[in-house]
């Protein structure tokens, strides 16, 4: 059975760190729209130049653009066993587009893990990174963008019964353990055969 996950959380909440770990553990690809967009910027294509203006200002790029990227990416064979979306969806229209895509593929999301983290922890962590858009004023703006445009997804996925709250302010290992507690029942660990074969 496929394991289809979304990591939801503000900038600096540790989505990338946890996505990397989940990829290792469950052997499913992590798909980070931020990484895909930055690769376009680095490639210096005309599209990349257009994207740069959004990324540098800490604004979201237009929905249609990221929806197309995700549609294309989810059609690749390595997503068959599942995927971890990191940084997508980020708006209600993106979430609706994802639901439509996955319903066509008859593979609804298994869970949306919301890494809840207080603003000061976020700013402290972002201050330690060295990405262009982690400059204090832009990082601050990105948190506002999260609160305005992405936080409505918390209610959206709660209504769908998919939301799982994780305390993202804990150290990475503790966050990972909390995520594992949520995922273990989803991957059928609870469906072990009643009589386990014993070594003889």
- Among the candidate windows 29-37, 99-107, 156-164, 189-197, which touches ligand ADP by CB under 6 A? 29-37
Q: x/- contact string, 139-178, with ligand ADP (CB under 6 A)?
A: ---x------------------------------------
Within 85-114, the residues that bind ligand ADP by CB under 6 A are 87-88, 90, 94
Q: Are 184 and 190 in contact (CB under 8 A)?
A: yes
CA angle (27 as vertex; 21, 33 as ends), nearest 5: 65
**Residue of minimal Cβ distance to ligand ADP:** 34
Q: x/- contact string, 9-28, with ligand ADP (CB under 6 A)?
A: --xx--x-------------
Within 117-146, the residues that bind ligand ADP by CB under 6 A are 133, 142
- Quick one: which of 31, 55, 111, 115 contacts ligand ADP (CB under 6 A)? 55
Q: Is residue 60 a contact residue for ligand ADP (CB under 6 A)?
A: yes
How would DSSP label each residue in the chain? --EEEEEE--TTSSHHHHHHHHHHHH---EEEHHHHHHHHHHHT-HHHHHHHHHHHHTPPPPHHHHHHHHHHHHTSGGGTTEEEEES---SHHHHHHHHHHHHHTT---SEEEEEE--HHHHHHHHHHS--GGGSHHHHHHHHHHIIIIITHHHHHHHHTT-EEEEETTS-HHHHHHHHHHHHGGGGTGGG--SSPPPP-
State the minimum distance, in angstroms, from the CB of residue 161 to ligand ADP: 22
Q: Is residue 74 a contact residue for ligand ADP (CB under 6 A)?
A: no
Q: Is residue 54 a contact residue for ligand ADP (CB under 6 A)?
A: yes
How many chain residues touch ligand ADP (CB under 6 A)? 19
Residues that bind ligand ADP (CB under 6 A): 11-12, 15, 33-34, 37, 54-55, 58-61, 66, 87-88, 90, 94, 133, 142
């Amino acid at each position: 059975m496929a394991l289809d996950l979304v990591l939801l959380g503000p900038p600096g909440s540790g989505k990338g760190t946890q996505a990397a770990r989940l990829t290792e553990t469950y052997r499913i690809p992590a798909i980070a729209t931020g990484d895909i967009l930055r690769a376009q910027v680095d490639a210096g294509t005309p599209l990349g130049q257009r994207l740069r203006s959004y990324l540098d200002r800490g604004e979201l790029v237009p929905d249609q653009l990221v929806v197309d990227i995700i549609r294309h990416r989810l059609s690749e064979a390595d997503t068959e066993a599942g995927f971890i979306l990191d940084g997508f969806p980020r708006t209600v229209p993106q979430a609706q587009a994802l639901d439509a895509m996955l319903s066509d593929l008859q593979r609804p999301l298994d869970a949306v893990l919301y890494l809840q983290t207080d603003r000061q922890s976020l700013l402290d962590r972002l201050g330690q990174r060295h990405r262009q858009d982690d400059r204090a004023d832009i990082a601050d703006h990105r948190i506002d963008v999260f609160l305005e445009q992405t936080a409505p997804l918390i209610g959206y996925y709660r209504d769908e019964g998919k939301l799982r709250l994780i305390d993202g302010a804990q150290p990475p290992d503790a966050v990972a353990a909390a995520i594992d507690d949520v995922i273990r029942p989803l991957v059928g660990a609870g469906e072990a055969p009643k009589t386990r074969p014993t070594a003889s």
